[in-house]
Structure 1
Amino acid sequence: MIGDRVTEDRVIRPAVPAETEAIAALHARARATYYPDGVPQDGTDWLANWRTAVERRDGHVLCVLEQGRIVGLASFRTPPDAPARTVRLFQFHVDPGRWRAGIGTALHAACVERWRTDGLRTAVLDVHVDNRRAQVFYARQGWIADPERPPAEGDHHLWLRYRVPGGS
């Protein structure tokens, strides 16, 4: 694992199990911003999902901490059905109270560094169609519409693809 990325007031490092409640809470705050009718109550136990993600040996959850508080997070892994050297970014969130502070850009750079180190060439993700802020952010980072997964009728997600710079 790449060592902690540290600046004067910010640390990016792997999450630990004791942080899953804070991670799930940040995730809930972020998701609430892009559902126009409120976050769907589909029965998903997000705390359990995050606990599993943090404990997975085949995945990564990176956290951004400022003054000891989690203000950003990213979860990614290579699913078994993914094409060779492809990683899927499952979750990427910045605390809404900290938007436009460079947290997302720094976290994205840490993800790309990990992917490059792991020899990955491509990253994929899906983003909610109503999450325009995220779509603009991803476009600025170099993500494009995934030509292999065009939008499907009635689907509420757009699939994006990213070429990992220097990926072997």
Structure 2
Amino acid sequence: MISDRVTGGRVIRSVLAAEAETVAALHARARATYYPDGVPDDGTDWPAVWRSAIARPDGQVLCAVERGSLVGLASFRTPEGAPADTVKLFQFHVDPDHWRTGLGTALHTACVEHWRADGRSTAVLDVHVGNRRAQEFYARRGWVPDPLHPPAEGDHHLFLRYAVAGG
């Protein structure tokens, strides 16, 4: 468990199991910004997905809290079949009302510090092709296209890689 980290009046900490509904709502608000026709309803029970992610002993879900409200989140763990020194950032979201406030940078920094403390050397993620804002955010922090996973025809995601030690 990561200890609480206070950054510029914000607290970055592990998400609590009781916060799964709040996390799912933030996830939905953030995702809605890059789906011009609305977030596809595939029947996923997102609160259940988040409860599972929060409970995983092999993963971590961090959140950023500002003035008592959960306004950012990051979920990561070693992906199946990957080397132990690799971590995947599965979800990274900031409440749209808090974009361009430094919150994403603070949350990303907390993730990198956690990865370094865990001895990770590489981080990977996939980002929706229509989410230009996120792609630019990651590029400014040193994420690059993953040469091991080039874009596939018709895929809706870009795969990025980050050198944790050099970040």
Tell me which interval the TM-score lies in, with the shorter structure as reference length. Answer: over 0.9
Does the 8 A contact of 2:64 with 2:71 survive in 1? yes
Does the 8 A contact of 1:79 with 1:88 survive in 2? yes
Structure 1 CA distance for aligned equivalents of residues 81 and 127 of structure 2: 20
2:103 is the alignment partner of 1:103: yes
After alignment, is 134-143 or 72-81 more displaced? 72-81
Structure 2 CA distance for aligned equivalents of residues 69 and 21 of structure 1: 13
Q: 1:8 to 1:128 in 2, by over 3 A?
A: closer
Q: Which runs of 5+ in 2 are unaligned?
A: none
What's the counterpart of residue 20 of structure 2? 20
TM-score (norm 2): 0.97
Does the 8 A contact of 2:86 with 2:123 survive in 1? yes
TM-score (norm 1): 0.96
Structure 2 CA distance for aligned equivalents of residues 69 and 62 of structure 1: 14
Does the 8 A contact of 1:35 with 1:130 survive in 2? yes
Secondary structure (helix, strand or coil) at the match of 2:70 reads: strand
Secondary structure (helix, strand or coil) at the match of 1:26 reads: helix
Task: Kindly tell me the number of residue pairs found equivalent between the two proteins.
Answer: 167
After alignment, is 79-88 or 19-28 more displaced? 79-88
After alignment, is 12-21 or 78-87 more displaced? 78-87
After alignment, is 60-69 or 75-84 more displaced? 75-84
What's the counterpart of residue 128 of structure 1? 128
Structure 2 CA distance for aligned equivalents of residues 8 and 74 of structure 1: 18
Percent of residue pairs identical:
72
What's the counterpart of residue 92 of structure 2? 92
After alignment, is 33-42 or 152-161 more displaced? 33-42
Does the 8 A contact of 2:127 with 2:158 survive in 1? yes
Does the 8 A contact of 1:74 with 1:89 survive in 2? yes
Letter of the 1:24 counterpart: A
Structure 2 CA distance for aligned equivalents of residues 64 and 81 of structure 1: 30
Report how far residue 46 of structure 1 moved: 0.8
Structure 2 CA distance for aligned equivalents of residues 166 and 136 of structure 1: 19
Structure 2 CA distance for aligned equivalents of residues 90 and 7 of structure 1: 23
Structure 1 CA distance for aligned equivalents of residues 166 and 55 of structure 2: 29
* Residue correspondence of structure 1 range 1-168 to structure 2 within 5 A: 1-165=1-165
Does the 8 A contact of 1:72 with 1:103 survive in 2? yes
Structure 2 CA distance for aligned equivalents of residues 19 and 157 of structure 1: 28
Structure 1 CA distance for aligned equivalents of residues 8 and 98 of structure 2: 17
The superposition leaves residues 34-84 of structure 1 with CA deviations (integer Å, 9 ceiling, x where unpaired) of 012110111111110000011111100000000110000000001231133
Structure 2 CA distance for aligned equivalents of residues 117 and 98 of structure 1: 28
